């Protein structure tokens, strides 16, 4: 461990319970992405004024944990037709300096040479190849099960388009060891490979939405919360999983350890992508926050589907100006704006048809969705 690293204790909020904060964040993102008036009244969740104080940073000062034992970390990569990105980013992962880790790639019925490339050039990485398409959620579940069988203490879920600095895992494991309440730890995304430099002082910040491109979770989280919901197939996995983790009594956090994310998932937006984003956004809101949140999400998606571009641009410009005045929203809002590309793909009549299909699917599956909601609400903070 480099001598500049001085780990310490995570600072936490106290004004709101974690689940209320996640709901406020969820609704705040909807309001910021679309209309300023799409927000819940303060009476809906108590302590709404505390929302702007949920992300407080603390410079790490003073180590509590001896890492001589080096707990096992499973670095897992879900992949589908990502050979071009693996060729660029696997060398950085292979250079990881943490002494006790295993890597596995789960390939979800790729038609390119992803599997051959890994087996030939990175033979230390185990490959789980499948010809059955189970979507992103099912593919990640394969990796989570493998990690549990390997008796790993931590699992680093890394997208195939992420580049990391060599010490990324060493610092992250130390932060998790020093903060046993943190169930999931995210990283700081940067846009330039020259910025992949470990900062002199590592910071750990409680948050409600760590970046999904790469994060580390404890295997204890999986044992208590379970696996990803494979109903989603793809898109929205974190929107569903993070509230479940919070309800189980864990803290979500992020650190200022940098990584580079190429965001290749936003390059090609198909009708299926639009359908999945529409359907899953409504499904996650219904499942985790109930009928009112589901209705708000459906209203937002309807407006994205049918409003003329000029009107939507004016409305969003006003909303983004509103967001820019609130520093705590800057990071999450940037990701939200990028993801909104998928909500406007294709002619409006096509988007309207997809929206109607998404609504129909959620109405048809509403009884089972609410049953799953009752199950996820059954967690207690023991």
Per-residue pLDDT reduced to its tens digit, 127-168: 999 888 889 999 999 999 999 999 999 999 999 999 999 999
* Three-state SS at 131: coil
Q: Are 51 and 28 in contact (CB under 8 A)?
A: yes
Read out DSSP for 44-105? Answer: TSTTGGGGGGS--EEE--------TT---EEEEEEESS-HHHHHHHHHHHHT---SSEEEEE
Phi, psi of 352 (to 5 degrees): -65, -40
Rounded CA separation 348/346 (Å): 7
Residue 5 vs residues 29, 200, 202, 226, 298: alpha-carbon distances, Å: 34, 7, 7, 33, 46
Domains of the chain (ranges, CATH numbers)? 18-54+268-376 (no CATH), 57-266 (3.90.550.10)
For residues 187 and 8, the model is more confident at: 187
Confidence of residue 305 (pLDDT cuts 50, 70, 90): confident
Range from 37-46, 160-169, 241-250, 283-292 that averages highest in pLDDT? 160-169
Whole-number pLDDT of residue 175:
93
Share of the chain above pLDDT 70, in %: 70
Whole-number pLDDT of residue 7:
45
**Strand duo 182-190 + 214-218: pairing:** antiparallel
Please give the structure tokens belonging to residue 230: 């494979």
Rounded CA separation 19/247 (Å): 6
Whole-number pLDDT of residue 329:
30
Per-residue pLDDT reduced to its tens digit, 35-44: 333 333 333 3
* Three-state SS at 21: helix
Whole-number pLDDT of residue 185:
96
Rounded CA separation 369/324 (Å): 35
Whole-number pLDDT of residue 217:
96
Whole-number pLDDT of residue 342:
59
User: Across the strands, what pairs with 150?
Assistant: none
Whole-number pLDDT of residue 86:
94
């Amino acid at each position: 461990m480099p001598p500049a690293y001085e780990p310490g204790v995570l600072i936490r909020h106290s004004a709101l319970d974690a689940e209320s904060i996640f709901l406020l964040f969820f609704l705040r993102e909807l309001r910021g992405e679309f209309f300023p008036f799409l927000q819940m009244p303060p009476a809906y969740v108590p302590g709404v004024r505390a929302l702007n104080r949920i992300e407080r940073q603390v410079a790490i000062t003073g180590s509590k944990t001896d890492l001589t034992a080096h707990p096992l970390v499973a670095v897992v990569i879900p992949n589908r037709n990502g050979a071009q990105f693996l060729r660029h980013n696997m060398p950085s992962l292979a250079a990881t300096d943490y002494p006790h880790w295993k890597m596995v790639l789960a390939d979800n019925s790729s038609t390119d040479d992803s599997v051959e490339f890994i087996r030939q050039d990175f033979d230390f990485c185990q490959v789980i190849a499948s010809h059955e398409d189970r979507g992103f959620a099912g593919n990640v579940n394969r990796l989570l099960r493998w990690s549990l069988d390997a008796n790993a203490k931590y699992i680093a879920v890394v997208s195939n388009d992420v580049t990391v600095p060599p010490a990324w895992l060493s610092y992250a494991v130390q932060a998790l060891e020093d903060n046993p309440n943190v169930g999931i730890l995210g990283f700081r995304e940067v846009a330039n490979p020259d910025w992949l430099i470990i900062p002199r002082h590592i910071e750990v910040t409680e948050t409600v939405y760590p970046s999904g491109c790469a994060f580390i979770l404890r295997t204890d989280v999986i044992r208590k919360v379970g696996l990803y919901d494979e109903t989603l197939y793809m898109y929205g996995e974190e929107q569903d999983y993070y509230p479940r983790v919070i309800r189980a009594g864990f803290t979500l956090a992020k650190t200022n350890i940098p990584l580079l994310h190429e965001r290749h998932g936003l390059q090609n937006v198909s009708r299926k992508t639009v359908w999945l984003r529409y359907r899953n956004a409504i499904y996650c809101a219904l499942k985790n926050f109930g009928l009112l949140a589901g209705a708000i999400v459906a209203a937002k998606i309807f407006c994205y589907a049918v409003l003329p571009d000029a009107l939507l641009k004016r409305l969003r410009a006003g909303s983004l100006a509103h967001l820019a005045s609130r520093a705590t929203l800057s990071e999450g809002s940037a990701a939200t704006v990028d993801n909104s590309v998928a909500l406007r793909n294709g002619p409006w009549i096509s988007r309207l048809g997809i929206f109607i299909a998404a609504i129909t699917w959620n109405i048809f599956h509403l009884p089972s969705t609410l049953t799953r909601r009752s199950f996820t609400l059954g967690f207690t903070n023991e």
